Amino acid sequence: MQLLELADLFDDLYPLGKTCNTSSVWSDGKFISRQSTWWEELEGCLHKHFLMLGQSNVEKLLDAKLNETTAAVKRSTSIENIELNSTGCLTTLSNGERIQSRYLIGADGARSFVRNHFEVPFEITRPQIVWAVIDGIIETDFPKVPEIIVFQAETSDVAWIPREGEIDRFYVRMDTKDFTLEEAIEKINRAMHPHRLSFKEIVWFSQFSVKESLAEEFFVQNRIFLAGDSCHIHSVNGGQGLNTGLADAFNLIWKLNMVINFGASGELLRTYESERKPVARNVIETSGELVRSTKYSDTGTHAEDYVKIVEKRAGNITGMGIRYGSEGLQGSRLHDFEIFDGTSKVRLYSLLDYTKFTLLVFGDCELTPRVPEFVNVIRIVPEKNANSFWTESRQYMNQAILVRPDSYIHGTASLDKLESLFEMATV
C-alpha cells in the first residue's frame, strides 16, 4: 500500500478492499487465541493492516493507467525471439511486430520465456504439499468476522481468509492432486465442526502444488532483467507473491529512469539484483516455513505454530521490515509520520514523488543547495510554522535525508554537508 501511494495508485484501490489486522486460532469449534498486537511493533507505517483485495483489481487499475499513456497491454501475444545487438534488444512478437529497446524486463511468470531463452538456472523444489483454493460467497453458522482464521484440526489444513465484498477465500491442504471441489468443502466442514459451511456461489476454484525456486541471476548480459515470478516462486502463504513482484518493479524502474534520462552510471542497474535477490530468498524462506508448519508440528499445535511464524516474520510478510543495507539509516525504509503544511495535517509520504529523489531537510536552517533536476528539496522545521512544513516528531531531526524514489533512504548528512548527498544521488 505504501508503494502504491508513491505512484498515485492507492486512492483508487483502497476503497475496494477489506482491511484486516487480526488472526485467530480455533479448535473443535472453540476459540483458542487471537493475535494483532504485532502490527503495533511495525515502525513508521500508517496502514497497520493488510488490505484484502484480489489481484484482478490491481491488474485492472494498472491496465487503465497504461491505456492512458498509450502503452496498453498486448493480450494474446507472446514473445518468439529476443536478439541482443549493439543498441540493446530486438524482440520479435507472435503478431510479427519487432521492438527495438535498450533494455528488456522479463516479468512473464514462473514459466518465463525470457529466463529460459537466456538459460538462467532456476532449479525448482517441490515439498509435496498440495492445496485447494476456493473463493466464493458462503452460508455458515460460524460467527463470521473480518479476520484470518486458522482451524486446528489433526493438522492445520484449513485457513479462512476474508476478501473484498461478499467473497471469502479458503485454503485447504489436500496433499493429493486427485480431489474434487466437494471433497475440499467437506474438509473445511470437518475442520470447523460442529459448525457448518456451504457455498451459495463459487467464484473461483483451483489447486496448486507448492513450488520454490530462485533464479541464479536477475540481471543478464547488462540488458535483461527478471522480475516477479520469473525469478522467484514460492507458496502463497503470507500473500507475498504480488507484493514482492510489485516491490521488484518499484526497485527497478527508478533506476532505469536515472540511467536512461539523467545519465546515471550503468552500475546503478546492478544494484537491482544485489538488493532484490536477498529479499526474494527471504520471502521463499518465510513462505516455506509457513507452509511446512501446516503439515509438520512436533507438538501437534500446527495452527498456533503458523501464527507464531507470522509474528516472527512480520517484517518480511508486510514488507515493512525489508531493508537494503545491514545497519544504520542508509538502506532502510523511510518512516512515515504526521507533519503539517501550515495548519493542514498531512503525512511525510504524501510529499514523496516516485519520479524523483527527495531531499528532506529536518531543521530550521537556510537552504541554498544547488540540486540536480531529479531532486526535490523539502524543509521541515521542528516548531509550528504557518508558512512551511513542520512536525512535532523528533525522528530525523537536525539531519538531511536523501530519499530514493522508492521511499528507501539513500544517504544522510548533517545540515552543513548537504552537497555530499547530491554526489550520492548520481551514483
pLDDT surpassing 90 at residue 248:
yes
Q: Count, in order, helices (H) and strands (E) of the chain.
A: 10, 24
pLDDT surpassing 90 at residue 385:
no
Q: What is the pLDDT of residues 125-150, one digit of tens each?
A: 887 788 899 999 999 999 888 898 98
CA-based nearest residue to 189, from 181, 177, 293, 306: 181
| DSSP reduced 3-state for 23 | strand
pLDDT surpassing 60 at residue 155:
no
Residue 330 has a CB neighbour count (10 Å cut-off) of 17
Position 300 scores a pLDDT of 67
Position 94 scores a pLDDT of 96
pLDDT surpassing 90 at residue 33:
no
Position 113 scores a pLDDT of 97
- What mean pLDDT is predicted for residues 394-402? 92
- What mean pLDDT is predicted for residues 176-197? 92
Of 369 and 251, more confident: 251
- What mean pLDDT is predicted for residues 281-304? 75
For the chain, give every domain's residue range.
Answer: 338-425
Q: How far is CA 155 from CA 289, 299, 300, 371, in A?
A: 15, 11, 7, 59
- Count Cα atoms within 13 angstroms, Cβ side, for 336: 18
User: How far apart are the C-alpha atoms of 208 and 130, rounded to whole Å?
Assistant: 6
Position 256 scores a pLDDT of 97
- Percent of the chain whose predicted confidence (pLDDT) is above 70: 94
Q: Which three cell numbers stand for residue 134?
A: 476456493
Q: What is the pLDDT of residues 307-356, one digit of tens each?
A: 777 777 777 788 888 899 877 899 999 999 999 998 899 989 989 999 99
409-413 sheet: strands from edge to edge: 344-347, 338-341, 389-390, 375-381, 357-362, 399-403, 409-413
Q: What is the pLDDT of residues 73-87, one digit of tens each?
A: 999 999 999 999 999
Position 204 scores a pLDDT of 93
Position 156 scores a pLDDT of 52
Position 321 scores a pLDDT of 84
User: How far apart are the C-alpha atoms of 152 and 28, rounded to whole Å?
Assistant: 8
Write the single-letter amino acid at 312. K
Q: Which residues pair with 380 in a beta bridge?
A: 362, 389
Q: Which three cell numbers stand for residue 185?
A: 468443502
pLDDT surpassing 70 at residue 288:
yes
- What mean pLDDT is predicted for residues 173-197? 91
Position 351 scores a pLDDT of 92
Q: What is the pLDDT of residues 300-317, one digit of tens each?
A: 666 677 777 777 777 778
Domain 338-425, CATH among 3.30.450.20, 3.40.30.120, 3.65.10.10, 1.10.3980.10: 3.40.30.120
CA-based nearest residue to 17, from 52, 46, 47, 48: 52
Q: How far is CA 144 from CA 139, 149, 190, 334, in A?
A: 10, 10, 17, 37
Task: Answer yes or no: are the C-beta atoms of 364 and 414 closer than 8 Å.
Answer: no
Task: Answer yes or no: are the C-beta atoms of 173 and 131 closer than 8 Å.
Answer: yes
User: How far apart are the C-alpha atoms of 186 and 164, rounded to whole Å?
Assistant: 24
Q: Which residues contact 128 (CB under 8 A, 6 or more apart)?
A: 175, 209, 210
Q: What is the pLDDT of residues 82-131, one digit of tens each?
A: 999 999 999 999 999 999 999 999 999 999 999 999 999 999 888 778 88
- What mean pLDDT is predicted for residues 34-53? 84
Q: What is the pLDDT of residues 200-230, one digit of tens each?
A: 999 999 988 888 899 999 999 999 999 999 9
- Percent of the chain whose predicted confidence (pLDDT) is above 90: 56
Burial group, residue 349, by CB count within 10 angstroms (0-12, 13-18, 19+): buried
Position 426 scores a pLDDT of 56
Position 16 scores a pLDDT of 94
Q: Which three cell numbers stand for residue 60?
A: 485492472
User: How far apart are the C-alpha atoms of 223 and 49, rounded to whole Å?
Assistant: 38
Q: Which three cell numbers stand for residue 159?
A: 485457513
pLDDT surpassing 60 at residue 427:
no
pLDDT surpassing 70 at residue 369:
no
pLDDT band at 238 (very low <50, low <70, confident <90, very high): low
